[in-house]
Amino acid sequence: MAGRDISLTPRVEEVREPSATAPVQFELAQIKEHFDESLNSIKKHFSVAEELMNGGKEDEGKNIYRSQIVFLEAILDFYLHEMSKYCLYKMFIGEWRKSEKYKKLQIPITDVERALDAPEYQTWFFHYLNQRFSRDVLLSVESMKDQLNLIGISWTAALIKAYPANSENDSVNWGKNTIRQLFDRRNMIAHQNDRSHESAVQNPITREYVEECFDNVECLVTAIHTIAAEKG
C-alpha cells in the first residue's frame, strides 16, 4: 500500500466521449435494403417454428412466433432511426424543405460548442443526429407520428399510402389502430411473456397473425420509402 495515491480527484461532468467510429451516411436505397434483409431473415424463423410444432412442441413453436413480433418491431424502429438521420440531414444541407418541427429542434449548448470546433459542420450534424435519436423508441402512435412529421414525411400521407381504404379518414384510423395494436403486443411479449396480468394465461398466437403483422409493417415501410424517394 505504500506510495499508493488514494486521494480523491474531481469528478468530470458534462463530458460525452466521442464515438470511435463515425456513423455511416447510407443512401435511401441502402436503408430500405437493410430493412428488407432483416425482414427476410426473420421470416426464415417460420420454418423453425413449424418444425417444432410438427414435432409436438407446440408451445416452443408459438414462442418462435412471439419472438418474430419482437424482432419485427425492432427492425421497424431501426428503419425509422435510419430514415430520421437521412431526412434531417437532407434538410440540414438544403436539399429538402425544412419541416416546421425541424425549425424547433433544440440542441444543447455543449453540442453547439462541438459544432463550432468541428472542421466540417455537416459531419458534426450527422454525428449529432446519430447520438440524438439512438435511445429513442419510435414505435408508439404518438412518437411515430411526431417523428415522421419532424423528418418531412407526412404521417397522414404515409398511412393513406400504406393502408388504402374507402376514405382517407378510414386509412388513417386503420393505420393508427394497426400500429398501436402491434406495439402493445410487442410490449406484452417483451415485458410479460405475452401473459395476461389478470389470469397469467398466455395470449394465443398463430402463423397467420404473424404474417399479417409482417404485411402491415412492410406496407408502412414501403409507403415511407416511396414518399422519401418522391422528394428526390
Region 181-201 average pLDDT:
94
pLDDT at position 17, please?
46
**Among 174, 209, 230, 218, which Cα is nearest to 62's?**
209
Confidence of residue 3 (pLDDT cuts 50, 70, 90): low
For residue range 97-139, what is the model confidence (pLDDT) as tens digits?
Answer: 999 999 988 888 888 887 777 777 778 888 888 888 888 999 9
Local structure of 147: helix, strand or coil: helix
Backbone φ, ψ for residue 132 (5° rounding): -60, -40
pLDDT at position 212, please?
98
CA–CA separation, 220 and 175 (whole Å): 9
The answer to whether residue 20 scores a pLDDT higher than 60 is no
Q: Identity (one letter) of the amino acid at 211?
A: E
Region 83-89 average pLDDT:
94
Output the nine-digit C-alpha cell for 195.
Answer: 401473459
Confidence of residue 12 (pLDDT cuts 50, 70, 90): very low
**Among 57, 79, 71, 38, which Cα is nearest to 213's?**
71
The answer to whether residue 182 scores a pLDDT higher than 80 is yes
Confidence of residue 6 (pLDDT cuts 50, 70, 90): very low
What's this model's pTM, rounded to 2 decimal places? 0.87
Output the nine-digit C-alpha cell for 213.
Answer: 403483422
Q: What is the DSSP string of 87-123?
A: HHHHHHTTSSPPPTTGGG----HHHHHHHHH-S-HHH
CA angle 170, 136, 225 (to 5 degrees): 50
Share of the chain above pLDDT 90, in %: 71
CA angle 193, 196, 198 (to 5 degrees): 140
- CB 81 within 8 Å of CB 138: yes
